[in-house]
Amino acid sequence: AQSVAQPEDQVNVAEGNPLTVKCTYSVSGNPYLFWYVQYPNRGLQFLLKYITGDNLVKGSYGFEAEFNKSQTSFHLKKPSALVSDSALYFCAVRDPVGAAGNKLTFGGGTRVLVKP
């Protein structure tokens, strides 16, 4: 079965400092990995995904993520955080093999608080 772990419930960072949100995964095959962001009372907004190719993926709003197969990680990063980045971030995995590939399995989420 596929699973995702986001080890930090909350990340606090000062505006202008680098932001990292951690994610590790477990799947039986090569994973498809996704990051979404959720603002209060809103649905999930897609940020970026890794399917294959370059391990460093660039996405929306200046975010990027690095796929590390040996560490089974897909950490989300932003070089300089903004107050408006304060939100709930979800990592998700999809196993492309078999029926499990038809759904996303999400982590528990990490709340990011960027202080001015």
Using CB under 8 A as the criterion, which residues of the chain lie in contact with another protein when the complex forms?
4, 32, 34, 36, 41-46, 49, 51, 90, 92, 94, 96, 99, 101-109
State which residue, 40 or 116, has the beta carbon closest to another protein. Answer: 40
State which residue, 86 or 105, has the beta carbon closest to another protein. Answer: 105
Minimum distance from residue 23 beta carbon to another protein (Å): 11
Minimum distance from residue 46 beta carbon to another protein (Å): 6
Minimum distance from residue 12 beta carbon to another protein (Å): 18
- DSSP result, the chain: --EEE---SEEEEETTS-EEE--EEE-SSS-EEEEEEE-TT--EEEEEEE-SS-SEEE-GGG-EEEEETTTTEEEEEESS--GGG-EEEEEEEE--SSGGGGS-EE---EEEEEE-
